A and B are shown apart, each in its own frame.
Chain A
Amino acid sequence: MLNLIKRDLLLSFYSSANFFFTVSFFVLILILIPFAFGTQSDQLKLLFKGVVWIALALSIIITVDRIYNADYEDGNLDIIMQKNKTIEYLVISKYVTHWFIYCLPLLVILPILSFLFYLDYFETIQIFINLFIGSFGMVFIANFVSALTLGAKRTIFLKAIIMIPLFVPFIIFGSDAASWPILLGLSMLSFVISIYVTAYGLRLYGE
């Protein structure tokens, strides 16, 4: 499992452009808010708390093809699955690297963005905690969608249509600061479902 984490991190380091694309995409979506709604500070604050979740959801959606599809298409997934007989370990290592590569940079950049939108320290920390917890749940969902649609080429629209409804609960509860326990529950529930379904999807692919 540690091998795979190391390998995926090295791979993303070697193709680091991917990772900058996701961060830029996230920042650009948020930057669109003042263009669309003006620069009144109260309005911006309110909008930021909601749109940051939409930006996170979209950023995760654009990365979904990189989880298993890239390795599936070039044949590396065969070697990886052969070497890791317990597929659940493989799945967990993918959760870790996917979150680390694509969600952590967004959380790191979040404080800078929130100050631009006139949020104070306290509000920033609240959003940070919610996003931190919710992003795990969204990563779990993205992983199982990726595994279940493995082998279907150029189906990012299909994946987006499956994923967006599943992200809705996170977006509903995410913008409310006090609802982090609900987000935690949602993330844990997604983990339980996702690990089972992802492993099933990968086994099915092997067939």
Chain B
Amino acid sequence: MNELKIEDLSCKRGESKVLNNINIIIKSGETLVVKGRNGSGKTTLLRILSNFITSYQGKVSLNDLSILEDNLYNNKFNLIGQKNSLKDNLSIKKNLELWDIIFNESLDHAKLLERDNLDHLINRDVGSLSDGQKKCISLHRLNYNKYEFWFLDEPFVYLDEANTNSLIEKINRFNENMGIVILTSNINLPKKFHKEVNI
């Protein structure tokens, strides 16, 4: 059972304060939706949770151990940022091979892409895909399955209805397996998740 606790979190970006005294507790099996206007610090919050930003006030802890001191923490979360992490000049197949090496895990991509109806794209160059298709491939990283947390930055942008529903289903399944999901979104989602916070 994991408990991720954010206490009195405040953060400055340049001269402006983007996060002001945020307090959130999230437990295994829950999904938190972070909402807020543009520039309110949603991405900053995810980058703090991913240990990229380390200078902030307040405390972020996993099971009462600060994430800055937890050496194993970085291997526990899967962060899908707004960038696709795809090489435009390579085919999807080659991109997935490169990911396999970085993630140190070999997946049966053909089968997984077939499940998501993306298998017809496998030999296409990423540069020739639409933004929505790129986003779908980018979310394919969620299939690497040794993670306890998913941090998703605007995952629903560019997705059509069918893909939105399939992502929500994936999030539900991950929650059922006791995974924690924190996602930022400004879109009205068709489903209510466990927790919602406005920053």
Contact = CB atoms under 8 A, between A and B. Distances in A.
A81 interface: yes
A122 interface: no
Given A14-B94, A85-B71, A74 B102 contact: no
A207 B101 contact: no
Interface stretch (B34-42, B77-85, B168-176): B77-85
- Interface secondary structure of A, over-half rule: helix
A74 B55 contact: no
Contacts of B99: 79
Interface size class, chain B: 20 to 34
A79 B144 CA distance: 13
Given A3-B101, A74-B84, A76-B85, A82 B79 contact: yes
B98 A11 contact: yes
B98 A15 contact: no
B86 A7 contact: no
Contact of B101 (A7, A15, A75, A206): A7
A81 B94 CA distance: 21
Interface size class, chain A: 20 to 34
B69 to A, nearest CB: 12
Nearest to A78: B81
13 contacts: A3-B101, A4-B102, A6-B101, A14-B90, A70-B87, A75-B81, A75-B83, A75-B85, A76-B98, A76-B102, A78-B52, A82-B50, A83-B103
- Please list the 10 inter-chain residue pairs (A to B) with the smallest Cβ-Cβ separation, ordered nearest first: A75-B83, A75-B85, A206-B52, A7-B101, A76-B85, A85-B74, A14-B94, A207-B53, A14-B90, A75-B81
